[in-house]
Each structure stands twice: as structure tokens, then as C-alpha cells.
Amino acid sequence: MSRPIVATIDTSALRHNLAVARQAAPRSHVWSVVKANAYGHGIARVWQSLSETDGFALLNLEEAILLRESGWNKPILLLEGFFHADELPILDRYRLTTSVHSNWQIQALAKAKLSAPLDIYLKMNSGMNRLGFQPALVQQVWHKLKTLPNVGEITLMAHFAEAESNEGVTAPMARINQAAEGLNCPRSLANSAATLWHSHTHYDWVRPGIILYGASPSGDWQDVASSGLRPAMTLNGEIIGVQSLRRGDGVGYGARYRASDEQRIGIVACGYADGYPRHAPTGTPVWVDGVRTQIVGAVSMDMITVDLTPCQQAGIGTQVELWGNNIKIDEVAKAAGTVGYELMCALAPRVPVNVV
């Protein structure tokens, strides 16, 4: 590694966070959500650390096949289902569970030639208005699916748009309960937020995602600070240059920051081309030489500048944590007006990754 930046994936943190999810929903099975290349952590790198899960949930056939060919033989759920009818033989070959959210998928299942029935997650639109059947149609669709020889076990699936709030699941749960009245089928409803905070939504399968990687589903670390979650990804750089500013000196593109007095700043080998948020403003926290400080000026493609006022011993070669155990990814995301999910997923391919 020539450029001093590295992302470190802590496999013990992943195992620990899965245990936290299980503790939160002790009577439920767990789908560990590894979509988006395991939220940027790398599905090939991390799946074995989550192998105590009951199943993996994802989007891409390629990632499902990777898991199967890597030796995973327990359930895999395609959260968005199949996208074209000609994918059904692949689902059959690799024994994948698929969501069904549209009539054309039901028609495709009816016509497909499969070696054995596929388990189905019947997706209901509980108010988020993305994928899924309207509540009034759930009974009709369920009974239709039950008639198809290609359909195995049917699980009712829904998603919550506002599970981060105390009342955010109330109206969706009322719709779900009304739609499912009389249906003898398992349910999978709870995302990360509902897994942590709404035990009455847990049912048969929960689907934790962001909490497996040690960040908050609400975007506010304080909401999960007492949960025991541990960050699974740390992004580290180091100072590659130091500048001494005089009062009024500008920093970076647009001189968005100007020194109010004499000041030392450090230049860190990390920028938006590495996945650091370009819109992170002056004041975004950073950890330098064991001290919390802040970035100053605009984030550029390959570098950020940090205030060395509280860490006078820092200089070229000093280690910097951009996010991780000391600076939570949610803090950086909040400062930049985004969420930790995006920062994890935005980690650039050019950043070396160390798995410990």
C-alpha cells in the first residue's frame, strides 16, 4: 500500500452485532441483510462472520450465487424478487427464496418448469408505497399462490418507512393485521429499527441490516449507544502534510474556511474519491493522534484538511480516524447531511481493505 489510507473490517464486531440482533428478537429467526455488497463491507469478506445467522437477504443473483458457491447452504432471500421470468431456473438451481410483489411474477411462477417448489415471500405494501400488493389484495394473492405447484411455503412480508419513531409502526401494523386476518402463514416485517425498538413486530423472521454493521437505523448514534453495537468498519488515513496559517488565510477550494488566528492544519490522504462525503462541512469530527478535532474547508477529491489546534504534537505520519470506534460513522454522516448507510456503501474500490 503506497497511499496511506485503509478501511478495516472487524469480523468480531459483525459476530457481536448479530448476537445483539438475536438478543433483541430472541423468538425470531434472523435474515442478515447483506445487500449492496454487505453495505460496502464486501459480501465475500464478511459472510462467514455472519454464518450463525438463519439466512441471508440480498438483491442480486450474483451475490446469491457467490454465497452458494462459497458453501452457504441455508436460506437466501431475494428481497426484490426476480426481475425477469428467465431467472426462475437460476432460483430453482440455487434454491433461492424469492419475494413476489407483482402479478407478472405470479404468472411467471405458474408457467415455469421447476424441479421443486420455491418458497415465496408475499410482499405487501403497508404504506411505504414502493413494492408490494395493496392490503386489500393480499388475501386474493395469497390464495392464488397456494394453488400453484411451483410455490412452497408462503411468508407474508412488509416493510416499515418510519420504524425509527415510537408511533411509526402503528398504522402499518394495523393494515398488516387486517390484511392477514385468517391467513395461516409466517410473517417477516421487522427491519433494523423495528428489531431493536418494536418487539411486537418481530413474528417469525426479522431482517436486521444496518445494525449488523454497527450503525444506527435512525442516523443518530445516541439512539443505539446503549445497545452494545460495535462499528464493523473503520476508515483510517494519516497526515501527509502540514500548513501553518496566518489570520485570514483560506483553506481549500473556494476558501470556504479562513483562519481567525494563527493555526496549524494537517492534510489527510482521504477525499471524496475514497468515499468521504464531499459535502462534509467545517466542523465534521475527526480523530487525530488520539484527540477529537474537526475538518476545515472543503473536502477535495483526494484530501481533507483538519484542525491541529487541539493536537499540537501531530505531524506528518500521524494516524487519523475518519470514522470507526472513536468517530462514529453516523456522526460524520449527520454532519454531511446524509446517513451512515450511504457512507458505508460509498467506500471506493481504490481504498485498500484489511479484514481482522
Express each pLDDT in 242-270 by its tens digit.
999 999 999 999 999 999 999 999 999 99
Residue numbers annotated as active site: 35, 253
**250 plus 342 within the same structural domain:** yes
Mean pLDDT across the chain:
96
Q: Which amino acid, one-letter code, is at 110?
A: A
Handedness of CA 226, 230, 231, 232 (dihedral sign): negative
Closest CA relative to residue 95, chosen from 123, 74, 70: 74
**210 plus 241 within the same structural domain:** no
**160 plus 82 within the same structural domain:** yes
275 — pLDDT class (breaks 50, 70, 90)? very high
The answer to whether 52 touches 244, Cβ cutoff 8 Å, is no
3-state DSSP call for residue 97? strand
In a domain, 25, yes or no: yes
CA 18 from chain center: how many Å? Answer: 13
Please give the Cα distance from 45 to 38 (Å, whole number): 9
- In the chain, the number of structural domains is 2
Please report how the helices 103-111 and 138-146 are oriented relative to each other, as an axis angle in degrees rounded to 10: 10
CATH number at residue 163: 3.20.20.10
Return all residues near 274 (Cβ < 8 A) that are at least 6 apart: 5, 235, 302, 347, 348, 350, 351
In a domain, 5, yes or no: no
**194 plus 241 within the same structural domain:** no
Instruction: Kindly state the average pLDDT of the residues 207-221.
Output: 95
pTM for the complete prediction?
0.94
Q: Name the residue range of residue 245's domain.
A: 233-355
**203 plus 262 within the same structural domain:** no
CATH number at residue 249: 2.40.37.10
**120 plus 186 within the same structural domain:** yes
Share above pLDDT 90 across residues of the chain, in percent, rounded to a whole number: 96
Looking at residue 194, its pLDDT comes to 97
What are the binding residues for substrate?
A: 130, 301
Looking at residue 2, its pLDDT comes to 87
In a domain, 222, yes or no: no
Please give the Cα distance from 30 to 56 (Å, whole number): 8
Please give the Cα distance from 61 to 233 (Å, whole number): 25
Express each pLDDT in 76-94 by its tens digit.
999 999 999 999 999 999 9
131 — pLDDT class (breaks 50, 70, 90)? very high
Out of 188, 215, 242, a domain closes at 215
C-alpha cell at 191: 427491519
Residue linked to cell 449488523: 212
The answer to whether 253 touches 300, Cβ cutoff 8 Å, is yes
In a domain, 227, yes or no: no
**207 plus 264 within the same structural domain:** no
In a domain, 228, yes or no: no
What are the binding residues?
A: 130, 301
**76 plus 185 within the same structural domain:** yes
Express each pLDDT in 161-204 by its tens digit.
999 988 899 999 999 999 999 998 999 999 999 999 999 999 99
**29 plus 171 within the same structural domain:** yes
For the chain, the residue count is 356
Out of 187, 215, 243, a domain closes at 215
DSSP 292-348: EEEEES---SS-EEEE-TT-TT--TT-EEEEESSSS-HHHHHHHTTS-HHHHHHT--
In a domain, 303, yes or no: yes
Return all residues near 116 (Cβ < 8 A) that are at least 6 apart: 92, 95, 152
How many other C-beta atoms can be found within 10 angstroms of the C-beta atom of residue 260? 9
Q: What 8-state DSSP symbol labels residue 153?
A: E
In a domain, 3, yes or no: no
**89 plus 63 within the same structural domain:** yes
Express each pLDDT in 155-165 by its tens digit.
999 999 999 98
**252 plus 314 within the same structural domain:** yes
Express each pLDDT in 34-63 by its tens digit.
999 999 999 999 999 999 999 999 999 999
**25 plus 162 within the same structural domain:** yes
Share above pLDDT 70 across residues of the chain, in percent, rounded to a whole number: 100
In a domain, 290, yes or no: yes
pLDDT at residue 1 is higher than 80: no
pLDDT at residue 282 is higher than 90: yes
